[in-house]
Structure 1
Amino acid sequence: MKPPYTITASILNLVVSISQKIGEASAHYLDKQSPKLRKENRIKTIQATLGIEGNSLSESQVQAIDEGKVLIGFERDQKEVQNALALYERWNEFNPVKSDSLLSAHRILMQGLVTNPGEYRNRSVGITKGKTLTHIAPPADRVPFLMNDLFDFVSNDPDPLLIKSCVFHYEFEFIHPFIDGNGRMGRFWQSVILSKSHPIFEFLPFETIIASSQTDYYLALAQSDACGQSTPFIEYMLGVLDKSLAQLLNTTNVVLSETERIEYFIFIGMKDFSRKDYQRVFKNLSTATASRDLKKGVSLQLFSTYGERNATRYRVLF
Protein backbone atom coordinates (compact mmCIF):
# COMPACT_ATOMS: atom_id res chain seq x y z
CA MET A 1 0.00 0.00 0.00
CA LYS A 2 1.27 3.47 -0.91
CA PRO A 3 1.76 5.70 2.15
CA PRO A 4 -0.45 8.81 2.12
CA TYR A 5 1.09 12.12 1.04
CA THR A 6 0.41 15.00 -1.34
CA ILE A 7 2.96 16.40 -3.79
CA THR A 8 2.72 20.16 -3.30
CA ALA A 9 4.19 23.04 -5.31
CA SER A 10 6.78 23.49 -2.53
CA ILE A 11 7.84 19.86 -2.85
CA LEU A 12 8.16 20.11 -6.65
CA ASN A 13 10.22 23.29 -6.41
CA LEU A 14 12.55 21.71 -3.87
CA VAL A 15 12.98 18.58 -6.01
CA VAL A 16 14.02 20.80 -8.95
CA SER A 17 16.42 22.80 -6.78
CA ILE A 18 18.00 19.69 -5.27
CA SER A 19 18.33 18.00 -8.66
CA GLN A 20 20.16 21.04 -10.04
CA LYS A 21 22.54 21.03 -7.09
CA ILE A 22 23.21 17.29 -7.50
CA GLY A 23 24.19 17.96 -11.11
CA GLU A 24 26.43 20.85 -10.12
CA ALA A 25 28.06 18.80 -7.38
CA SER A 26 28.79 15.98 -9.80
CA ALA A 27 30.35 18.46 -12.22
CA HIS A 28 32.70 19.53 -9.42
CA TYR A 29 33.62 15.90 -8.58
CA LEU A 30 31.98 16.19 -5.19
CA ASP A 31 30.57 12.69 -5.59
CA LYS A 32 34.26 11.65 -5.37
CA GLN A 33 35.40 13.88 -2.57
CA SER A 34 38.97 13.99 -1.40
CA PRO A 35 39.64 11.57 1.47
CA LYS A 36 40.15 14.55 3.81
CA LEU A 37 36.78 16.14 2.97
CA ARG A 38 35.06 12.77 3.00
CA LYS A 39 36.38 11.99 6.48
CA GLU A 40 35.45 15.43 7.81
CA ASN A 41 31.88 15.11 6.53
CA ARG A 42 31.50 11.62 7.97
CA ILE A 43 32.66 12.84 11.39
CA LYS A 44 30.12 15.69 11.16
CA THR A 45 27.36 13.24 10.21
CA ILE A 46 28.05 10.88 13.08
CA GLN A 47 28.43 13.61 15.69
CA ALA A 48 25.21 15.29 14.57
CA THR A 49 23.00 12.20 14.25
CA LEU A 50 24.10 10.91 17.66
CA GLY A 51 23.87 14.37 19.19
CA ILE A 52 20.22 14.58 18.17
CA GLU A 53 19.66 11.49 20.34
CA GLY A 54 21.50 12.95 23.34
CA ASN A 55 25.11 11.90 22.76
CA SER A 56 27.32 14.54 24.38
CA LEU A 57 30.53 14.13 22.37
CA SER A 58 31.89 16.91 20.15
CA GLU A 59 33.26 16.59 16.61
CA SER A 60 36.82 16.65 17.94
CA GLN A 61 36.01 13.85 20.39
CA VAL A 62 34.37 11.79 17.63
CA GLN A 63 37.48 12.32 15.53
CA ALA A 64 39.67 11.21 18.44
CA ILE A 65 37.68 7.97 18.73
CA ASP A 66 38.01 7.47 14.97
CA GLU A 67 41.77 7.74 15.46
CA GLY A 68 41.67 4.96 18.07
CA LYS A 69 41.90 7.11 21.18
CA VAL A 70 39.98 6.19 24.35
CA LEU A 71 37.94 8.79 26.22
CA ILE A 72 37.61 8.32 29.95
CA GLY A 73 34.16 8.73 31.49
CA PHE A 74 32.08 8.53 28.30
CA GLU A 75 31.55 4.78 28.03
CA ARG A 76 28.08 4.71 26.43
CA ASP A 77 28.63 7.80 24.29
CA GLN A 78 31.93 6.35 23.09
CA LYS A 79 30.31 2.99 22.29
CA GLU A 80 27.63 4.77 20.25
CA VAL A 81 30.34 6.53 18.24
CA GLN A 82 32.38 3.34 17.72
CA ASN A 83 29.27 1.52 16.48
CA ALA A 84 28.32 4.38 14.15
CA LEU A 85 31.83 4.52 12.72
CA ALA A 86 31.67 0.77 12.04
CA LEU A 87 28.25 1.16 10.42
CA TYR A 88 29.24 3.98 8.06
CA GLU A 89 32.43 2.12 7.14
CA ARG A 90 30.28 -0.72 5.77
CA TRP A 91 27.95 1.60 3.87
CA ASN A 92 28.15 -0.18 0.51
CA GLU A 93 27.08 -3.52 1.97
CA PHE A 94 23.49 -2.42 2.56
CA ASN A 95 20.57 -2.96 0.21
CA PRO A 96 18.06 -0.14 0.84
CA VAL A 97 14.99 -2.25 0.10
CA LYS A 98 15.82 -5.44 2.01
CA SER A 99 14.66 -6.13 5.55
CA ASP A 100 17.64 -8.37 6.32
CA SER A 101 19.98 -5.55 5.33
CA LEU A 102 18.20 -3.08 7.61
CA LEU A 103 18.37 -5.53 10.51
CA SER A 104 22.07 -6.10 9.89
CA ALA A 105 22.69 -2.34 9.98
CA HIS A 106 20.76 -2.01 13.25
CA ARG A 107 22.79 -4.85 14.74
CA ILE A 108 26.03 -3.00 14.00
CA LEU A 109 24.69 0.34 15.21
CA MET A 110 23.21 -0.90 18.49
CA GLN A 111 25.54 -3.78 19.44
CA GLY A 112 26.21 -3.60 23.18
CA LEU A 113 23.62 -0.85 23.62
CA VAL A 114 20.36 -2.85 23.57
CA THR A 115 19.47 -6.42 24.48
CA ASN A 116 18.52 -7.68 21.02
CA PRO A 117 20.20 -5.56 18.34
CA GLY A 118 19.19 -6.37 14.78
CA GLU A 119 15.70 -7.54 15.72
CA TYR A 120 12.35 -5.84 15.25
CA ARG A 121 10.67 -4.97 18.53
CA ASN A 122 8.40 -7.58 20.13
CA ARG A 123 6.36 -5.28 22.36
CA SER A 124 4.33 -2.10 22.10
CA VAL A 125 6.05 1.27 22.41
CA GLY A 126 5.00 4.87 22.84
CA ILE A 127 6.95 8.08 22.30
CA THR A 128 6.83 10.75 24.99
CA LYS A 129 7.96 14.37 25.18
CA GLY A 130 8.47 15.14 28.82
CA LYS A 131 5.43 13.58 30.52
CA THR A 132 3.22 13.76 27.43
CA LEU A 133 2.57 10.69 25.26
CA THR A 134 2.90 12.01 21.71
CA HIS A 135 2.78 8.84 19.61
CA ILE A 136 1.73 5.22 20.00
CA ALA A 137 3.51 3.03 17.45
CA PRO A 138 1.67 0.25 15.58
CA PRO A 139 1.44 -3.17 17.31
CA ALA A 140 4.69 -5.17 17.29
CA ASP A 141 3.23 -8.04 15.29
CA ARG A 142 2.50 -5.61 12.42
CA VAL A 143 6.06 -4.28 12.16
CA PRO A 144 7.50 -6.85 9.68
CA PHE A 145 4.52 -6.44 7.34
CA LEU A 146 4.58 -2.64 7.51
CA MET A 147 8.31 -2.54 6.83
CA ASN A 148 8.00 -4.88 3.84
CA ASP A 149 5.23 -2.66 2.45
CA LEU A 150 7.53 0.34 2.88
CA PHE A 151 10.39 -1.39 1.08
CA ASP A 152 8.00 -2.34 -1.74
CA PHE A 153 6.94 1.31 -2.04
CA VAL A 154 10.54 2.51 -2.35
CA SER A 155 11.29 -0.19 -4.94
CA ASN A 156 8.27 0.16 -7.18
CA ASP A 157 6.49 3.49 -6.84
CA PRO A 158 7.12 5.83 -9.81
CA ASP A 159 7.47 9.02 -7.75
CA PRO A 160 10.95 10.62 -7.57
CA LEU A 161 13.40 8.92 -5.24
CA LEU A 162 14.01 12.21 -3.43
CA ILE A 163 10.37 12.22 -2.35
CA LYS A 164 10.23 8.50 -1.60
CA SER A 165 13.29 8.71 0.64
CA CYS A 166 11.57 11.37 2.77
CA VAL A 167 8.38 9.30 2.91
CA PHE A 168 10.45 6.32 4.05
CA HIS A 169 12.10 8.42 6.78
CA TYR A 170 8.75 9.60 8.14
CA GLU A 171 7.01 6.22 7.91
CA PHE A 172 10.02 4.54 9.55
CA GLU A 173 9.73 6.87 12.54
CA PHE A 174 5.96 6.31 12.63
CA ILE A 175 6.32 2.51 12.61
CA HIS A 176 9.17 2.73 15.14
CA PRO A 177 10.37 -0.79 14.27
CA PHE A 178 13.03 -1.09 16.98
CA ILE A 179 13.06 -0.70 20.73
CA ASP A 180 15.85 1.87 20.40
CA GLY A 181 17.93 3.49 17.66
CA ASN A 182 15.03 4.44 15.39
CA GLY A 183 16.02 8.09 14.92
CA ARG A 184 19.62 7.48 13.89
CA MET A 185 18.59 4.46 11.78
CA GLY A 186 15.91 6.46 9.95
CA ARG A 187 18.38 9.19 9.02
CA PHE A 188 21.05 6.68 8.01
CA TRP A 189 18.66 4.66 5.86
CA GLN A 190 17.38 7.71 3.98
CA SER A 191 21.00 8.39 3.02
CA VAL A 192 21.46 4.77 1.92
CA ILE A 193 18.34 4.98 -0.26
CA LEU A 194 19.50 8.20 -1.91
CA SER A 195 23.12 7.15 -2.36
CA LYS A 196 22.24 4.24 -4.65
CA SER A 197 21.21 6.72 -7.34
CA HIS A 198 23.25 9.73 -6.24
CA PRO A 199 26.59 8.71 -4.64
CA ILE A 200 27.10 12.20 -3.25
CA PHE A 201 24.59 11.42 -0.49
CA GLU A 202 26.99 8.95 1.06
CA PHE A 203 29.02 11.91 2.30
CA LEU A 204 26.38 14.63 2.62
CA PRO A 205 26.18 15.57 6.32
CA PHE A 206 22.53 16.68 6.26
CA GLU A 207 22.21 15.59 9.87
CA THR A 208 24.03 18.78 10.86
CA ILE A 209 21.11 20.81 9.46
CA ILE A 210 18.64 18.66 11.42
CA ALA A 211 20.71 19.03 14.57
CA SER A 212 20.57 22.80 14.25
CA SER A 213 16.79 22.77 13.68
CA GLN A 214 15.62 19.98 15.97
CA THR A 215 12.45 21.84 16.95
CA ASP A 216 11.43 22.04 13.29
CA TYR A 217 12.36 18.38 12.76
CA TYR A 218 10.10 17.16 15.55
CA LEU A 219 7.40 19.66 14.61
CA ALA A 220 7.34 18.29 11.04
CA LEU A 221 6.99 14.75 12.40
CA ALA A 222 4.17 15.87 14.72
CA GLN A 223 2.37 17.77 11.94
CA SER A 224 2.51 14.71 9.71
CA ASP A 225 1.12 12.58 12.54
CA ALA A 226 -1.69 15.08 13.06
CA CYS A 227 -2.76 15.29 9.40
CA GLY A 228 -2.30 11.57 8.72
CA GLN A 229 0.17 11.98 5.85
CA SER A 230 3.87 12.69 5.47
CA THR A 231 3.55 15.89 3.40
CA PRO A 232 4.81 18.32 6.11
CA PHE A 233 7.79 16.08 6.81
CA ILE A 234 8.62 15.73 3.09
CA GLU A 235 8.71 19.52 2.76
CA TYR A 236 10.93 19.84 5.82
CA MET A 237 13.38 17.09 4.78
CA LEU A 238 13.70 18.28 1.20
CA GLY A 239 14.52 21.71 2.61
CA VAL A 240 17.22 20.09 4.74
CA LEU A 241 18.72 18.28 1.74
CA ASP A 242 18.65 21.45 -0.34
CA LYS A 243 20.47 23.47 2.35
CA SER A 244 23.00 20.71 2.94
CA LEU A 245 23.84 20.44 -0.76
CA ALA A 246 24.25 24.22 -0.92
CA GLN A 247 26.73 24.07 1.96
CA LEU A 248 28.62 21.24 0.30
CA LEU A 249 28.87 23.13 -2.98
CA ASN A 250 30.39 26.05 -1.10
CA THR A 251 33.36 23.83 -0.29
CA THR A 252 34.42 24.17 -3.93
CA ASN A 253 35.44 27.71 -3.00
CA VAL A 254 37.90 26.43 -0.41
CA VAL A 255 41.55 26.84 -1.43
CA LEU A 256 43.24 23.45 -1.27
CA SER A 257 46.84 23.05 -0.28
CA GLU A 258 49.41 21.46 -2.58
CA THR A 259 49.21 18.14 -0.70
CA GLU A 260 45.38 18.19 -0.65
CA ARG A 261 45.28 18.73 -4.43
CA ILE A 262 47.61 15.78 -5.00
CA GLU A 263 45.59 13.60 -2.60
CA TYR A 264 42.35 14.57 -4.33
CA PHE A 265 43.74 13.92 -7.81
CA ILE A 266 44.92 10.44 -6.82
CA PHE A 267 41.52 9.70 -5.34
CA ILE A 268 39.57 10.44 -8.54
CA GLY A 269 41.35 7.51 -10.15
CA MET A 270 43.38 8.76 -13.14
CA LYS A 271 46.44 6.50 -13.24
CA ASP A 272 48.36 7.82 -16.26
CA PHE A 273 48.14 11.53 -17.04
CA SER A 274 49.76 14.72 -18.29
CA ARG A 275 50.09 18.13 -16.69
CA LYS A 276 47.16 19.29 -18.83
CA ASP A 277 45.03 16.45 -17.41
CA TYR A 278 45.95 17.67 -13.94
CA GLN A 279 44.94 21.23 -14.85
CA ARG A 280 41.60 20.05 -16.25
CA VAL A 281 40.70 18.93 -12.73
CA PHE A 282 42.02 22.12 -11.09
CA LYS A 283 40.86 24.59 -13.73
CA ASN A 284 42.11 27.73 -12.00
CA LEU A 285 45.60 26.39 -11.41
CA SER A 286 48.47 28.06 -13.27
CA THR A 287 50.92 26.00 -15.32
CA ALA A 288 53.73 26.84 -12.88
CA THR A 289 51.72 25.76 -9.84
CA ALA A 290 50.60 22.55 -11.54
CA SER A 291 54.23 21.75 -12.36
CA ARG A 292 55.23 22.34 -8.72
CA ASP A 293 52.43 20.04 -7.54
CA LEU A 294 53.55 17.27 -9.85
CA LYS A 295 57.19 17.69 -8.86
CA LYS A 296 56.09 17.39 -5.23
CA GLY A 297 54.15 14.21 -6.06
CA VAL A 298 57.26 12.72 -7.66
CA SER A 299 59.44 13.66 -4.66
CA LEU A 300 56.93 11.96 -2.34
CA GLN A 301 57.12 8.85 -4.56
CA LEU A 302 53.44 9.11 -5.38
CA PHE A 303 54.08 9.58 -9.13
CA SER A 304 56.66 8.30 -11.60
CA THR A 305 57.45 10.08 -14.86
CA TYR A 306 58.27 9.16 -18.43
CA GLY A 307 58.78 11.25 -21.56
CA GLU A 308 60.50 14.62 -21.74
CA ARG A 309 59.61 18.30 -21.51
CA ASN A 310 56.12 19.04 -22.86
CA ALA A 311 55.58 15.34 -23.54
CA THR A 312 56.20 14.35 -19.89
CA ARG A 313 53.57 12.04 -18.44
CA TYR A 314 52.97 10.78 -14.92
CA ARG A 315 51.87 7.48 -13.42
CA VAL A 316 50.32 6.95 -9.98
CA LEU A 317 52.51 4.44 -8.13
CA PHE A 318 49.79 2.64 -6.14
Structure 2
Amino acid sequence: MSGDGLSNGPPPGARPDWTIDQGWETYTQAEHDVWITLYERQTDMLHGRACDEFLRGLDALDLHRSGIPDFARINEELKRLTGWTVVAVPGLVPDDVFFDHLANRRFPAGQFIRKPHELDYLQEPDIFHDVFGHVPMLTDPVFADYMQAYGEGGRRALGLGRLANLARLYWYTVEFGLMNTPSGLRIYGAGIVSSRTESIFGLDDPSPNRIGFDLERVMRTLYRIDDFQQVYFVIDSIQTLQEVTLRDFGAIYERLASATDIGVAEIVPGDAVLTRGTQAYATAGGRLAGAAAG
Protein backbone atom coordinates (compact mmCIF):
# COMPACT_ATOMS: atom_id res chain seq x y z
CA MET A 1 0.00 0.00 0.00
CA SER A 2 2.96 2.34 -0.43
CA GLY A 3 3.24 4.74 -3.34
CA ASP A 4 5.79 7.09 -4.82
CA GLY A 5 5.29 10.78 -5.34
CA LEU A 6 2.46 11.15 -2.85
CA SER A 7 1.73 14.29 -0.90
CA ASN A 8 3.56 14.72 2.37
CA GLY A 9 0.30 15.37 4.16
CA PRO A 10 -2.68 13.07 4.61
CA PRO A 11 -5.86 13.76 2.62
CA PRO A 12 -8.88 15.41 4.24
CA GLY A 13 -10.50 13.13 6.80
CA ALA A 14 -7.37 11.07 7.45
CA ARG A 15 -5.34 11.16 10.65
CA PRO A 16 -1.69 12.30 10.70
CA ASP A 17 -0.61 8.65 10.20
CA TRP A 18 -2.96 8.43 7.18
CA THR A 19 -5.37 6.04 8.92
CA ILE A 20 -9.13 6.39 8.64
CA ASP A 21 -12.12 4.60 10.11
CA GLN A 22 -13.02 1.49 8.12
CA GLY A 23 -16.70 2.42 8.18
CA TRP A 24 -17.76 -1.21 8.06
CA GLU A 25 -21.40 -0.34 8.73
CA THR A 26 -21.54 1.73 5.50
CA TYR A 27 -20.82 -1.15 3.09
CA THR A 28 -23.75 -2.03 0.87
CA GLN A 29 -25.00 -5.55 0.31
CA ALA A 30 -23.73 -5.30 -3.26
CA GLU A 31 -20.24 -4.61 -1.91
CA HIS A 32 -20.48 -7.54 0.50
CA ASP A 33 -21.60 -9.70 -2.41
CA VAL A 34 -18.46 -8.78 -4.37
CA TRP A 35 -16.33 -9.93 -1.43
CA ILE A 36 -18.26 -13.19 -1.15
CA THR A 37 -17.90 -13.88 -4.88
CA LEU A 38 -14.15 -13.20 -4.80
CA TYR A 39 -13.65 -15.17 -1.59
CA GLU A 40 -15.54 -18.24 -2.74
CA ARG A 41 -13.89 -18.53 -6.12
CA GLN A 42 -10.41 -18.05 -4.66
CA THR A 43 -10.81 -20.50 -1.79
CA ASP A 44 -12.27 -23.08 -4.17
CA MET A 45 -9.02 -23.15 -6.11
CA LEU A 46 -6.32 -22.39 -3.51
CA HIS A 47 -6.21 -25.76 -1.77
CA GLY A 48 -3.26 -27.48 -3.35
CA ARG A 49 -1.96 -24.13 -4.62
CA ALA A 50 -1.49 -21.85 -1.61
CA CYS A 51 1.05 -22.67 1.10
CA ASP A 52 -0.11 -24.17 4.39
CA GLU A 53 0.73 -20.98 6.30
CA PHE A 54 -1.71 -18.98 4.18
CA LEU A 55 -4.49 -21.57 4.43
CA ARG A 56 -4.10 -21.81 8.21
CA GLY A 57 -4.31 -18.03 8.48
CA LEU A 58 -7.41 -17.94 6.33
CA ASP A 59 -9.09 -20.40 8.68
CA ALA A 60 -7.88 -18.65 11.83
CA LEU A 61 -9.30 -15.27 10.81
CA ASP A 62 -12.60 -16.59 9.42
CA LEU A 63 -12.61 -14.03 6.60
CA HIS A 64 -15.81 -15.22 4.96
CA ARG A 65 -18.68 -14.72 7.37
CA SER A 66 -21.35 -12.62 5.64
CA GLY A 67 -19.09 -10.42 3.52
CA ILE A 68 -16.35 -7.82 3.95
CA PRO A 69 -14.53 -8.44 7.25
CA ASP A 70 -14.80 -5.94 10.07
CA PHE A 71 -11.23 -4.96 11.01
CA ALA A 72 -12.21 -4.65 14.66
CA ARG A 73 -13.23 -8.33 14.66
CA ILE A 74 -10.29 -9.84 12.81
CA ASN A 75 -7.80 -7.70 14.74
CA GLU A 76 -8.72 -9.46 17.97
CA GLU A 77 -7.46 -12.81 16.68
CA LEU A 78 -4.60 -11.37 14.64
CA LYS A 79 -3.24 -9.44 17.60
CA ARG A 80 -3.52 -12.51 19.80
CA LEU A 81 -1.57 -14.63 17.32
CA THR A 82 1.27 -12.29 16.30
CA GLY A 83 0.68 -8.82 17.71
CA TRP A 84 -0.34 -7.37 14.34
CA THR A 85 -3.40 -5.27 13.51
CA VAL A 86 -4.98 -4.06 10.26
CA VAL A 87 -5.56 -0.31 9.89
CA ALA A 88 -7.68 1.32 7.21
CA VAL A 89 -6.11 3.91 4.88
CA PRO A 90 -7.67 5.92 2.04
CA GLY A 91 -5.45 4.35 -0.64
CA LEU A 92 -1.74 4.28 -1.37
CA VAL A 93 0.30 5.95 1.36
CA PRO A 94 3.78 7.55 1.29
CA ASP A 95 6.68 5.15 1.69
CA ASP A 96 7.76 6.52 5.07
CA VAL A 97 4.22 6.13 6.43
CA PHE A 98 3.98 2.60 5.06
CA PHE A 99 7.29 1.55 6.61
CA ASP A 100 6.38 3.08 9.96
CA HIS A 101 3.14 1.10 10.08
CA LEU A 102 4.91 -2.16 9.25
CA ALA A 103 7.68 -1.51 11.76
CA ASN A 104 4.97 -1.15 14.42
CA ARG A 105 3.08 -4.27 13.30
CA ARG A 106 0.25 -2.42 11.63
CA PHE A 107 -0.79 -3.42 8.13
CA PRO A 108 -2.35 -0.54 6.15
CA ALA A 109 -5.27 -1.74 4.05
CA GLY A 110 -7.58 0.03 1.65
CA GLN A 111 -11.20 -0.01 2.77
CA PHE A 112 -12.89 0.21 -0.65
CA ILE A 113 -13.79 -2.84 -2.72
CA ARG A 114 -13.69 -3.23 -6.49
CA LYS A 115 -16.81 -3.08 -8.66
CA PRO A 116 -18.46 -6.24 -10.04
CA HIS A 117 -16.95 -5.59 -13.51
CA GLU A 118 -13.45 -5.40 -11.98
CA LEU A 119 -13.35 -8.88 -10.47
CA ASP A 120 -10.35 -10.01 -12.51
CA TYR A 121 -8.20 -6.89 -12.64
CA LEU A 122 -7.84 -3.75 -10.59
CA GLN A 123 -4.99 -1.27 -10.95
CA GLU A 124 -5.02 -0.04 -7.33
CA PRO A 125 -5.14 -2.60 -4.50
CA ASP A 126 -8.49 -2.82 -2.75
CA ILE A 127 -9.64 -4.42 0.49
CA PHE A 128 -9.81 -7.88 -1.07
CA HIS A 129 -6.20 -7.77 -2.22
CA ASP A 130 -5.01 -6.23 1.03
CA VAL A 131 -6.98 -8.32 3.52
CA PHE A 132 -7.56 -11.64 1.75
CA GLY A 133 -4.17 -11.54 0.04
CA HIS A 134 -1.91 -10.22 2.78
CA VAL A 135 -3.42 -10.65 6.21
CA PRO A 136 -3.62 -14.48 6.50
CA MET A 137 0.19 -14.68 6.22
CA LEU A 138 0.49 -12.24 9.13
CA THR A 139 -0.91 -14.95 11.42
CA ASP A 140 2.35 -16.89 10.92
CA PRO A 141 4.89 -15.77 13.57
CA VAL A 142 7.93 -16.08 11.29
CA PHE A 143 6.35 -14.19 8.40
CA ALA A 144 5.00 -11.60 10.84
CA ASP A 145 8.55 -10.97 12.07
CA TYR A 146 9.78 -10.67 8.48
CA MET A 147 7.20 -7.99 7.71
CA GLN A 148 8.12 -5.98 10.80
CA ALA A 149 11.81 -6.22 9.92
CA TYR A 150 10.99 -5.14 6.38
CA GLY A 151 9.34 -2.00 7.73
CA GLU A 152 12.37 -1.23 9.87
CA GLY A 153 14.65 -1.86 6.89
CA GLY A 154 12.52 0.40 4.72
CA ARG A 155 13.15 3.40 6.94
CA ARG A 156 16.88 2.76 6.61
CA ALA A 157 16.68 2.26 2.84
CA LEU A 158 14.97 5.64 2.47
CA GLY A 159 17.90 7.31 4.21
CA LEU A 160 20.46 5.49 2.08
CA GLY A 161 18.71 6.04 -1.24
CA ARG A 162 18.27 2.31 -1.89
CA LEU A 163 14.48 2.13 -1.81
CA ALA A 164 14.25 0.75 -5.35
CA ASN A 165 16.26 -2.31 -4.34
CA LEU A 166 14.21 -2.93 -1.22
CA ALA A 167 10.96 -2.48 -3.13
CA ARG A 168 12.00 -5.35 -5.40
CA LEU A 169 12.41 -7.59 -2.37
CA TYR A 170 8.85 -6.80 -1.27
CA TRP A 171 7.51 -7.32 -4.78
CA TYR A 172 9.11 -10.71 -5.32
CA THR A 173 8.36 -12.06 -1.84
CA VAL A 174 5.35 -10.46 -0.15
CA GLU A 175 3.47 -9.80 -3.38
CA PHE A 176 4.58 -12.46 -5.86
CA GLY A 177 6.50 -15.08 -3.94
CA LEU A 178 6.42 -18.84 -4.50
CA MET A 179 7.57 -21.57 -2.11
CA ASN A 180 9.01 -25.03 -2.62
CA THR A 181 7.31 -27.47 -0.26
CA PRO A 182 7.41 -31.27 0.14
CA SER A 183 4.06 -31.29 -1.65
CA GLY A 184 5.29 -29.18 -4.57
CA LEU A 185 5.38 -25.52 -5.56
CA ARG A 186 3.01 -23.33 -3.56
CA ILE A 187 1.92 -19.66 -3.50
CA TYR A 188 2.43 -17.28 -0.60
CA GLY A 189 2.52 -13.89 -2.37
CA ALA A 190 -0.58 -11.73 -1.94
CA GLY A 191 -0.66 -10.59 -5.54
CA ILE A 192 -1.03 -14.20 -6.63
CA VAL A 193 -3.37 -15.65 -3.99
CA SER A 194 -5.83 -12.77 -4.48
CA SER A 195 -5.94 -13.30 -8.27
CA ARG A 196 -7.75 -16.27 -9.78
CA THR A 197 -5.89 -16.12 -13.07
CA GLU A 198 -2.43 -15.46 -11.69
CA SER A 199 -2.90 -18.32 -9.22
CA ILE A 200 -3.00 -20.54 -12.30
CA PHE A 201 -0.41 -18.68 -14.34
CA GLY A 202 2.16 -18.44 -11.54
CA LEU A 203 2.21 -22.18 -10.86
CA ASP A 204 1.26 -23.84 -14.14
CA ASP A 205 2.05 -21.68 -17.15
CA PRO A 206 5.27 -22.46 -19.06
CA SER A 207 5.85 -18.79 -19.88
CA PRO A 208 7.58 -17.31 -16.77
CA ASN A 209 10.98 -18.14 -15.35
CA ARG A 210 10.94 -19.63 -11.85
CA ILE A 211 14.24 -19.12 -10.07
CA GLY A 212 15.54 -20.05 -6.63
CA PHE A 213 15.56 -17.11 -4.24
CA ASP A 214 18.81 -15.19 -3.86
CA LEU A 215 18.65 -11.87 -2.01
CA GLU A 216 20.98 -9.77 -4.13
CA ARG A 217 19.65 -11.29 -7.35
CA VAL A 218 16.13 -10.31 -6.32
CA MET A 219 17.16 -6.79 -5.33
CA ARG A 220 18.72 -6.25 -8.78
CA THR A 221 15.71 -7.52 -10.74
CA LEU A 222 13.24 -5.16 -12.37
CA TYR A 223 9.54 -5.96 -12.21
CA ARG A 224 6.35 -5.08 -14.03
CA ILE A 225 3.22 -3.83 -12.37
CA ASP A 226 0.78 -4.00 -15.28
CA ASP A 227 0.44 -7.70 -16.06
CA PHE A 228 1.50 -11.22 -15.14
CA GLN A 229 5.06 -11.60 -13.91
CA GLN A 230 7.84 -12.82 -16.22
CA VAL A 231 9.83 -14.25 -13.33
CA TYR A 232 8.93 -15.67 -9.92
CA PHE A 233 11.46 -16.31 -7.16
CA VAL A 234 11.05 -19.44 -5.09
CA ILE A 235 11.95 -19.76 -1.41
CA ASP A 236 12.42 -23.06 0.43
CA SER A 237 10.40 -22.00 3.47
CA ILE A 238 9.14 -18.97 5.35
CA GLN A 239 12.24 -19.39 7.51
CA THR A 240 14.25 -18.30 4.46
CA LEU A 241 12.70 -14.86 4.71
CA GLN A 242 13.52 -14.59 8.40
CA GLU A 243 17.15 -15.43 7.63
CA VAL A 244 17.18 -12.66 5.02
CA THR A 245 16.18 -10.06 7.58
CA LEU A 246 19.07 -11.02 9.87
CA ARG A 247 21.62 -9.80 7.31
CA ASP A 248 23.27 -6.41 7.34
CA PHE A 249 21.92 -4.73 4.23
CA GLY A 250 24.50 -1.94 4.44
CA ALA A 251 27.21 -3.97 2.73
CA ILE A 252 24.68 -5.28 0.21
CA TYR A 253 23.58 -1.75 -0.68
CA GLU A 254 27.20 -0.79 -1.28
CA ARG A 255 27.58 -3.62 -3.77
CA LEU A 256 24.26 -2.85 -5.43
CA ALA A 257 25.28 0.77 -5.97
CA SER A 258 27.69 -0.38 -8.70
CA ALA A 259 25.66 -3.35 -9.95
CA THR A 260 23.52 -3.29 -13.07
CA ASP A 261 19.82 -4.05 -13.03
CA ILE A 262 18.60 -7.41 -14.33
CA GLY A 263 15.73 -7.50 -16.79
CA VAL A 264 12.47 -9.21 -15.93
CA ALA A 265 13.02 -12.06 -18.39
CA GLU A 266 16.78 -12.52 -17.97
CA ILE A 267 18.49 -15.62 -16.66
CA VAL A 268 22.00 -14.88 -15.43
CA PRO A 269 24.97 -17.06 -14.42
CA GLY A 270 24.49 -18.49 -10.95
CA ASP A 271 20.69 -18.65 -11.15
CA ALA A 272 19.10 -21.77 -9.69
CA VAL A 273 16.60 -22.25 -12.50
CA LEU A 274 13.56 -24.31 -11.59
CA THR A 275 11.68 -23.41 -14.77
CA ARG A 276 13.26 -21.82 -17.82
CA GLY A 277 10.21 -20.02 -19.15
CA THR A 278 9.22 -19.71 -22.78
CA GLN A 279 8.20 -16.05 -22.25
CA ALA A 280 5.45 -16.79 -24.77
CA TYR A 281 2.85 -14.78 -22.87
CA ALA A 282 4.99 -11.63 -22.71
CA THR A 283 6.22 -12.04 -26.29
CA ALA A 284 2.62 -12.16 -27.48
CA GLY A 285 2.00 -8.83 -25.78
CA GLY A 286 0.19 -10.01 -22.65
CA ARG A 287 -3.34 -8.86 -22.07
CA LEU A 288 -3.22 -6.56 -19.04
CA ALA A 289 -5.82 -8.66 -17.24
CA GLY A 290 -6.10 -11.16 -14.47
CA ALA A 291 -3.20 -10.09 -12.30
CA ALA A 292 -4.53 -8.66 -9.06
CA ALA A 293 -3.35 -5.22 -8.09
CA GLY A 294 -0.29 -5.40 -5.94
TM-score (norm 2): 0.30
Structure in which a larger fraction of residues adopt strand: 2
TM-score (norm 1): 0.28
Work out which of the two has the higher radius of gyration on C-alpha atoms and give 1 or 2. Answer: 1
